[in-house]
Amino acid sequence: METKINFLRPFGPAVAKIIIPNEILEKLNDYFDQVTKDEEKLKSLNHGHKLAGNVKQELKLDHKFITESGWLAFLGNAVKEYVKFGSQGKQITKFNLIDSWIVSQYKNEYNPTHWHGGHVSGAGFLKVPKNMGKPFQEKNKSMPNGVLQLIHGSRQFLNPSLFYINPKVGEFYLFPNYLMHTVFPFSESDEERRSISFNAFIDDDIYNVYS
């Protein structure tokens, strides 16, 4: 007799994956390339002192570009659908972006385990090296070089505590601000791993489940 199984997600924080439209993806990369050529603007938008990453270049996006590029509208719509899914149908009426920034990571740089402010956060990929290194030992050993790792709770039966995301250009992941995460360093390649993140507030009565 055939047994049918419906998979449920009754526990743990919801994570969503979406795709950044090519038009916005190009604007984000062009913006970063132009700002890094302007020493004065680069200095004013440097965001590294406020972030956890051990990388040389972390750049905050200015509000005008965020609005005119369509990035703000994209994030707002994505968060609306994400919260609706994760909260069983609740509709947000508020999306207040705190900030959004680009991280330019090169060989041997990394982002230690950390979490974000606000209510909802996310991370996605604008550029990815073709080769981020090979394992030093067994050929079949998993290689976390350059991956985004999400962390929640402790490993138990039917409950993994780690979720590995191999970076792919255009993919963007949404998660609650408290979800711990880290980015591993990579080796061999001299290419850039470029990512983008954000923090935002939504309705307090939706975020605060004890209200």
Residue 145 has pLDDT above 70, yes or no: yes
Q: What is the pLDDT of residues 6-55, one digit of tens each?
A: 776 778 899 999 999 999 999 999 999 999 998 888 888 888 888 888 99
As a 3-state breakdown, the chain gives helix, strand, coil percent values, each rounded to 5, of: 25, 30, 45
Element (H, E) at 23: helix 22-35
Q: How confident is the model at residue 88 (pLDDT cuts 50, 70, 90)?
A: confident
Cα angle 7, 12, 15; round to 5: 80
**pTM, full prediction:** 0.93
- Tokens linked to 11: 């526990």
Under CATH, which architecture does the 16-207 domain have?
A: Sandwich (2.60)
